[in-house]
Structure 1
Amino acid sequence: YALPGVFEPVNCNGRVLVDGALVNPVPVSVCRAYEQPLVVAVNLHYDLFGRAAVIKHSAGELVIEKDAPRPGHVDPEHQSHQTRLGITGVMVEAFNIIQDRISRARLAGDPPDMSLQPKLSHIGLTEFHRADEAINLGYQATMAQIGELTRLQSVLA
């Protein structure tokens, strides 16, 4: 995971490599290029942001607002969630917002045969100690769609 500004890029065969998610967070197009009969995308950013995610600067503090409600609309389940961050946190959150927007655009233009969207927004990007929890949530999301996956595999294979 070579996030620019947070982690040092990797040097490989004379090339400097950063995270591929900068341009293709859910690489359906790569699978299509290799002519795979069934492409299942796993979008790990699906529930991180609603339609409105804003980074703003207020009185010396940087704040991320996620799922900001529409003006005049109060919904307790979707109330604005604010997080105060340092500069590294803002960089990571900005990267997440960019990945989300790029993912949405690329998936709209080149949709997979099926998309799995485990709900992982409550697990932080650097909470590696919660890997078992994330894997279990991914497994549950997959098992919830296993019938459709099996059907697609038999149709497209």
Structure 2
Amino acid sequence: MPGHMGRSTAAAVLMALVAVGAGGCSDDGGGSAKEAASAAASVGSRAADSLASATAEAGRRLESVKGGVDAEDDVKLGATRTDDSGRTAVTVTAHNTADTEKSFVVVLDFRDGGGNLLDVVVVTVRDVAAGKSGTATARSNRTLSGTVKAEVGTAVRY
């Protein structure tokens, strides 16, 4: 399913860029809709490739965890914000309900207002003491625009 969501996102980007490019065309030879469409297709392709790469990396990171247990209920997210580099960021807080020190791997999905998947990020909250909480900051892999919401896709305590 992530590939389907990536194609939907790429198609939306492509249509928006084609519309903007076509709207900016003039009769003075300053550009063509064909050139705008070509540029938009390139951007859309790179966005889809980036999302596919991030999703694959999330899968690899989860597969590397041995002896983990589902911990989605123990993870809370702060409000999304734009950091100094222009990327979307969110604070991840993991509460360790185990009786020994544990770490958490959390996969976050960044989605737009329509629910389309924009990016996938993996963050590790390391060495959380028993009964305590630890935090980490998750940052998008690239600049995201519009309203962006972060959701916990998967969380594993190990």
- Larger proportion of helix: 1
Tell me the TM-score normalised to structure 2 length.
Answer: 0.29
- Larger proportion of strand: 2
Higher gyration radius (CA): 2
